[in-house]
Amino acid sequence: MSDHSWLKGRTVVYNPVPRAPSKPKRFRIGRILWTALKRTCMVIGAVVLFSAVIGVWSAMHAGKKAVPVLPDQMILTLSLDGRIPEESGMSQYLALLNIRDEPLTFNMLIDSIEKAIKDDRVKALALNVSSTGYDISQLQEIRKAVLNFKKSGKKTYIYSESYGGSGYGLGLYYLASAFDEIWMQPVGVVAIGGISADMPFFKDVMEKYGVEAQFFQRKEYKNAMEHLTSSKMSMASREETQGLIDSMAAQLIEPIKTERTQISKTFDDLLNLGMLTDEEALKSGLIDKMDYEDSLFAELDSIYGDIDTVSVDTYSRVAQRDRLMGSKKASVAIIHVEGMIVSGRGGGGSPYSMEDSMVGADDIADSIKDAARNKRIKAIVLRVNSPGGSPSASETIARAVHWARVIKKKPVYVSMGAVAASGGYWISTEATKIYAMDATLTGSIGVVGGKINLQKLWEKYDVNWERVSYGKNSSMMSMNTPFSASEQKQFELTLDNVYDHFILRVAKGRSLTTAQVEAIAKGHVWTGREAKEKGLVDEIGGLNDVLDLIAKTNSLASRHELTILHLPSADNPLAVLFELLSSEASLPAWLGNALSSVQLMSHSPRLVMDSSLPQVRG
């Protein structure tokens, strides 16, 4: 009989080996925190993955929203309570997939009003306005569309709690003057006290703390840094600013007098009063009715019967569907230059913030080149809303425009928004044709650059900087010491070089002599109306006027036969994804906000061509 005692306590599958007892582990806070962090990340990752799956499923099965059916009779309504975006970014592609609605853009707003002119179902237009934060150039385009609507014989009504409750309402009243009836809520005010511009000067207070601004400008009107280098406004700056305000005032006041004939003779006196109460505004003829919004719509019901109201947003969605279903005979790429022009790739603020964005020259140049290579695209439109930026970055974009127009034979048009100055004008010089609104701020052909010197600040607080360097001018841009004579000489040579190139580029692009350009340059900012008189722009008009020209050039009946592609996308794709997931799959709001707040930070150049634009209120 065999001895099987060796099998005792052992199995075929698992046979543990005795281990020596280990020493007890020490309590380590780092290990505990690391474990907690890993588990937290696992939970967040699981939530994101689950939300993504649900979001995609929801988008595929429930995301397709029905386009509303418009009634046989309606009043078109619009609520203006803030600046309307120029373009919708990546949202346009989600709209094409019918996953979500495309947000109302400024161009869609104008299109909708003009489409309603020939739509027999639309009987009237009613607008509610409640903000003063609009560009005058945008107000001009909206007003033009409203006047065209009114000329068709259809009535227009506007309502507001106050026209400039914050004290600046001339721009809003300018828009209101285009309507048949102006309504205002009781206790409201009409603030039409003109236009003013305030500019702070910090030189004296900076000197108290030992801070010195060392900036050099080309030329006298290029005063972007004057608020740092001076204690008061220079004569050139005052002359320029006063000229801008006078031009803006004429553009607002003359049309008001033309449309509101009942106050044409008294308007100047009313303007000098500044702010009028509700009763004063009614008695003077500034407004037609002092009542509430519900009373306005009750009156509309009594005039037009029990009629439906349809928002411009909804009306635009139907128009978008109709355009997508129709046949398109030509494509146009609209490339948006929105913000400060910087080298490389652009960044910007969170899509939920109001921060100014930065546009990268490489992004714009690549979009121009892609559109130029695409045979289906018949024309390129640069929609410029930029105060300037880096000269070299602006030159990169200008070269791309030249390449598209001259080498690829693709027409490139510029449509200027509220501001296309300095670098914004530099990139426009190579265009086939330049359009601007009367109130567009453009020109500013000049350059300014320099640095902040903190040497005396460090001395005040006993901070000692030691330097080790190689090269006589290696510390040129250091903020710890002022420019030496040699450094300043070389730096100012770069300013001269930029200014000379700017003059030559404008002369070539606008078919002017350098002497003619110099006479209107010197850093001077002009309104669009003035710029046309001086040969810096070709036509006064908005984006739709450019599209009308392109349609006509391509033998099309109207711009509505064009397929529009907006480039480059202004939205962060990751932010759009989480926005979509949030709306369709209930992604936690805190997670979406946290992820969308991540921003790209771009280097701010010290050599810039920003136009000096004071804060103008009217």
Question: What's the pLDDT score for residue 197?
Answer: 85
Distances (CA, A) of 54 to 51, 67, 591: 5, 24, 16
Question: What's the pLDDT score for residue 155?
Answer: 96
Residue 412 β-bridge partners: 380
Q: Are residues 304 and 353 in the same domain?
A: no
- The mean pLDDT value for 507-522 works out to 95
DSSP assignments along 171-186, one per residue:
HHHHHHTTSSEEEE-T
In a domain, 4, yes or no: no
Query: What residues contact residue 521 under an 8 Å CB cut-off, 6+ apart?
Result: 219, 443, 445, 446, 502, 503, 506
- Residue 150 · residue 124 · CB < 8 Å: no
Q: Are residues 284 and 366 in the same domain?
A: no
Residue 581 has pLDDT above 50, yes or no: no
By residue count, the chain amounts to: 618
Q: Are residues 337 and 285 in the same domain?
A: no
In a domain, 466, yes or no: no
DSSP assignments along 390-446, one per residue:
-HHHHHHHHHHHHIIIIIS---EEEEEEEEEETHHHHTTTTSSEEEE-TT-EEE---
- Residue 510 · residue 536 · CB < 8 Å: yes
Please give the DSSP secondary-structure letter assigned to residue 513.
-
Residue in this structure with the two tokens 């052992």, named with its chain if needed: 10
Q: Are residues 528 and 559 in the same domain?
A: yes
In a domain, 57, yes or no: no
Query: What residues contact residue 5 under an 8 Å CB cut-off, 6+ apart?
Result: none
Q: Are residues 387 and 427 in the same domain?
A: yes
Identify the top-confidence range among 31-40, 255-264, 585-594.
Answer: 255-264
Residue 98 has pLDDT above 60, yes or no: no
Count of domains observed in the chain: 2
Angle at 314 between CA 136 and CA 72, to 5 degrees: 120
Amino acid at 233: M
Residue in this structure with the two tokens 């020209």, named with its chain if needed: 549
Task: Flag the least confident range among 243-247, 287-291, 356-360, 603-607.
Answer: 603-607
Q: Are residues 284 and 432 in the same domain?
A: no
Question: What's the pLDDT score for residue 50?
Answer: 60
Domain end, chosen from 288, 315, 342, is at: 315
Question: pLDDT, tens digit, for every residue of 214-227?
Answer: 998 888 889 889 98
Q: Are residues 279 and 341 in the same domain?
A: no
Q: Are residues 436 and 527 in the same domain?
A: yes
Distances (CA, A) of 21 to 9, 18, 24, 27, 292: 20, 9, 9, 18, 85
In a domain, 254, yes or no: no
What are the backbone angles phi and psi of residue 191, rounded to the nearest 5°? -105, 100
Task: Flag the least confident range among 184-188, 228-232, 337-341, 569-573.
Answer: 569-573
Q: Are residues 490 and 355 in the same domain?
A: yes
How far is 438 from 478, CA to CA, in rounded Å? 42
Question: pLDDT, tens digit, for every residue of 385-395?
Answer: 999 999 999 99
Amino acid at 156: T
CATH number at 604 reads: 3.90.226.10
Residue 575 has pLDDT above 90, yes or no: no
Domain end, chosen from 286, 315, 344, is at: 315
Q: Are residues 332 and 297 in the same domain?
A: no
What are the backbone angles phi and psi of residue 384, rounded to the nearest 5°? -100, 120
β-pairing, 308-311 with 412-421? unpaired
Query: 102 pLDDT band (50/70/90 cuts)?
Result: low
In a domain, 183, yes or no: yes
In a domain, 52, yes or no: no
- C-alpha gyration radius of the chain: 31
Share of the chain above pLDDT 90, in %: 60
Query: 195 pLDDT band (50/70/90 cuts)?
Result: confident
For 80, the token pair is: 């203006």
Question: pLDDT, tens digit, for every residue of 174-191?
Answer: 999 999 999 999 999 999
Which comes out higher in pLDDT, residue 460 or 85? 460
- The mean pLDDT value for 356-369 works out to 89
Question: What's the pLDDT score for residue 297?
Answer: 93
Residue 367 half-sphere exposure toward CB, CA atoms < 13 A: 28
Which comes out higher in pLDDT, residue 589 or 95? 95
In a domain, 37, yes or no: no
Share of the chain above pLDDT 70, in %: 75
Q: What range defines the domain where residue 167 resides?
A: 74-193+274-315
Residue 451 β-bridge partners: 214
For 376, the token pair is: 């289906």
Q: Are residues 514 and 600 in the same domain?
A: yes
For 281, the token pair is: 């505004």
Question: What's the pLDDT score for residue 602?
Answer: 28
Q: Are residues 425 and 511 in the same domain?
A: yes
End-to-end CA distance of the chain: 113
Task: Flag the least confident range among 41-50, 384-393, 408-417.
Answer: 41-50
Angle at 172 between CA 166 and CA 175, to 5 degrees: 175
Residue 594 has pLDDT above 50, yes or no: no
Query: 317 pLDDT band (50/70/90 cuts)?
Result: confident
- 3 state DSSP class of 544: helix
Domain end, chosen from 256, 285, 315, is at: 315
Residue in this structure with the two tokens 């634009």, named with its chain if needed: 613
- The mean pLDDT value for 163-168 works out to 80
In a domain, 401, yes or no: yes
DSSP assignments along 350-403, one per residue:
-TTS-PPPEEEHHHHHHHHHHHHH-TTEEEEEEEEEE--B-HHHHHHHHHHHHI
